[in-house]
Structure 1
Amino acid sequence: MKSLKTLFLLAMLMALAICLSASEEPKRKNRFLSERVVLTCEKYPNICYNVKGSAGPDCCKKKCVNLSTDGSNCGKCGKKCSYGKICCQGKCVNPQTNEKHCGKCDNQCNAASSCLYGMCSYA
């Protein structure tokens, strides 16, 4: 019975030592982790073309965007489309009434119909 208590006490001391050693900060940091290089499109403009899943080929405020479709950067950086308008080919348009972009970008109504409420020939 005494040896069982001693074994249990020894196991508890080892567990405590492992916990304390795991919680201490390492004295030397890994050189590669501390010198991480951050690539931004302002320093490297081609990064927007080369990164898979990029939002677009243009760079605005250190972010890749598409100036022809982004409503917050329509045609140029910082140009926001007003309420109800969308960005099509770098211009803010109203998709409810625009015959070249009726309901969505590049949805052109034919010559005999007009765009109303985002649909060609609604009436």
Structure 2
Amino acid sequence: MKSLKTLFLLAMVMALSISVLAISPGNEEPKKVKNRLLSERVVMTCDKYPNVCHIKGSVGSDCCMKKCVNLWSDGSNCGKCGRKCRYGKICCEGKCVNPKSNEKHCGKCGNKCNGESSCVYGMCSYA
């Protein structure tokens, strides 16, 4: 049992000395080997590869300024590339609308007020 403890202590001392020697100032860092597969990154933009916007999980199926967008709901590209909705308006069905007063998009896209109520402050039948 005593020899087992001595062997374990000797192994710990050797491991400690190896780690100290490895990080001493005189030793250089090992050279980093670049993995070609990991360092070369292929960027697929929709201007060169239009089908990239149709991949599952894509933001939208339309391409504007090398990015996939949804022209029906994107406030920076509402209905067509580059058309921004003004402050206070949102993009619904490709048109910039005011959600505080629009009867078809009251408060959010697709929230339609019925014929008897009106949209006030983004709520149907506020008053």
What is the TM-score normalised by the length of structure 2?
A: 0.74
Query: Residue 56 of structure 1: CA displacement?
Result: 1.1
- Partners of 1:16 and 1:111 lie apart in 2 by 81
Query: Residue 36 of structure 1: CA displacement?
Result: 3.2
- State yes or no: 1:24 paired with 2:31: yes
Structure 1 runs not aligned, ≥5 long: 1-7
Instruction: Give 1:64's aligned amino acid.
Output: C
Count of paired positions: 115
Query: Residue 63 of structure 1: CA displacement?
Result: 1.4
Query: Residue 16 of structure 1: CA displacement?
Result: 6.7
Once the two structures are superposed, the pairs formed by residues 32-43 of structure 1 within 5 Å of their partners are 32-43=37-48
Partner of 1:73: 77
Query: Residue 103 of structure 1: CA displacement?
Result: 0.8
- Partners of 1:37 and 1:56 lie apart in 2 by 21
Query: How much identity, in percent, do the aligned residues show?
Result: 66
- Partners of 1:119 and 1:35 lie apart in 2 by 52
Instruction: Give 2:41's aligned amino acid.
Output: R
- State yes or no: 1:107 paired with 2:123: no
Query: Residue 18 of structure 1: CA displacement?
Result: 4.9
Of the three residues 92, 97, 112, the one matched with 1:88 is: 92
Instruction: Give 1:41's aligned amino acid.
Output: C
- Partners of 1:121 and 1:34 lie apart in 2 by 58
What is the TM-score normalised by the length of structure 1?
A: 0.76
Moved over 4 A (4+): 14-22
Structure 2 runs not aligned, ≥5 long: 1-12
Partner of 2:59: 55
Query: Residue 41 of structure 1: CA displacement?
Result: 1.0
- State yes or no: 1:46 paired with 2:51: yes
